[in-house]
Amino acid sequence: MSDTTLPASGRGASETASVLVEALPYLRLFRDKVIVVKYGGNVLSAKEGQPAVDEAAALASFAEDMVLLHSVGIRPVVVHGGGPQISELMKRVGKEAEFQDGFRVTDADTLDLVRMVLVGKVNRDLVSAINVHGALAVGLSGEDANLITAVARSEALGFVGEVVEVDPTLVHQLLAQGLIPVVATIGADAAGQAFNINADTAAGALAAAVSAEKLLFLTDVAGLRSVPDDPATLIPQATPDELDALVASGVAAGGMVPKVEACAWAVRHGVRRAHILDGRRPHAVLLELLTDAGVGTMVSRPDTPEGKS
């Protein structure tokens, strides 16, 4: 009997088996490797003119991906932002959000709101979604155990921090205990002053500090484009030098700049590959890591062998 004459349930089982076989070499390749995943707050926010995002379903799908990776011996570390959620809270309290080159201008009052959203809301939601599947996730921020030390990025940006050091000791300890660290990107300087750290920048620095095999950015577009508004111009692969040129030419602009710069920095500092993916696509992480076809933009050094390893 040919496959085309199988009942529907038979075809489903055959397709599932094919997917598992396709995933097998990647499961072997990435076992015991650290994968840093930056989960952007814009994954949970619908763009103007698009249907509303089911936040609970999106969180549940992402949590399933993290738990599956953990279950097969891959060691995920989640770094999250919360930009749209911060802007929404600012709007509710009568503050207007202001950005410069993709970074949020952060005065003292805004910093308090940022901490409330990142540490008290988004971090808790991610940890809870993962822990539905078992006692796996631990929430922390860059202030914990001096994980992220920062200084002011510029006077004009206020309490926006530039990462000067990452101490991954706490993250390594959690990974050694079989746990999934979920990191809110608030850092502090030597005097204890807190700073709002761009989550893309923090993810790149943390990925390098833990010698991650891969760094994945989940956002609301399917990767970097040579024409930002044209999905057909997706750039499937790029080198750090090519990313620098895209930023200099203005092709990468706005909120994409920190992502592109973080990809380039991380790859130059030991991360094997970095990826920019559409996190609204169900199970985007699994599709990128465990299937032959990529689903976004992949960044690697020119001397890195071809393939997804």
Q: What is the pLDDT of residues 129-150, one digit of tens each?
A: 999 999 999 999 999 999 999 9
Q: Residues near 9 by Cβ (< 8 Å), separated by ≥ 6? A: none
Q: pTM to 2 decimals?
A: 0.88
Report how far Cα 21 is from the mean position of its chain's Cα atoms. Answer: 27
Instruction: Report the C-alpha gap between 287 and 74 in whole angstroms.
Output: 15
**Other Cβ atoms closer than 10 A to 242:** 15
What domains, with CATH codes, occur in the chain? 30-299 (3.40.1160.10)
Instruction: Report the C-alpha gap between 285 and 3 in whole angstroms.
Output: 29
Q: Residues near 131 by Cβ (< 8 Å), separated by ≥ 6? A: 137
**Quick one: which of 288, 283, 184 has its CA closest to 236?**
288
Instruction: Report the C-alpha gap between 244 and 225 in whole angstroms.
Output: 14
Q: Tens-digit pLDDT profile for the chain (309 aa)?
A: 444 444 445 556 777 777 788 889 999 999 999 999 999 866 665 454 455 567 788 889 999 999 999 999 999 999 998 988 999 999 999 999 988 877 889 999 999 999 999 999 999 999 999 999 999 999 999 999 999 999 999 999 999 999 999 999 999 999 999 999 999 999 999 999 999 999 999 999 999 999 999 999 998 888 888 887 888 888 989 999 999 999 998 888 777 888 999 999 999 999 999 999 988 888 889 988 888 876 789 999 887 665 555
Give the chain as a 3 state SS string: CCHHHCCHHHHHHHHHHHHHHHHHHHHHHHCCCEEEEEECHHHHCCCCCCCCCCHHHHHHHHHHHHHHHHHCCCEEEEEECCHHHHHHHHHHCCCCCCEECCEECECHHHHHHHHHHHHHHHHHHHHHHHHCCCCCEEEEECCHHHCEEEEECCCCCECEEEEEEECCHHHHHHHHCCCEEEEECEEECCCCCEEEECHHHHHHHHHHHCCCCEEEEEECCCCCECCCCCHHHECCEECHHHHHHHHHHCCCCCCHHHHHHHHHHHHHCCCCEEEEEECCCCCHHHHHHHCCCCCCEEECCCCCCCCCC
Residue 32 token pair: 């015991």
**Quick one: which of 12, 135, 74, 133 has its CA closest to 289?**
74
Active site residues: 38, 41, 83, 200, 259
Instruction: Report the C-alpha gap between 303 and 104 in whole angstroms.
Output: 36
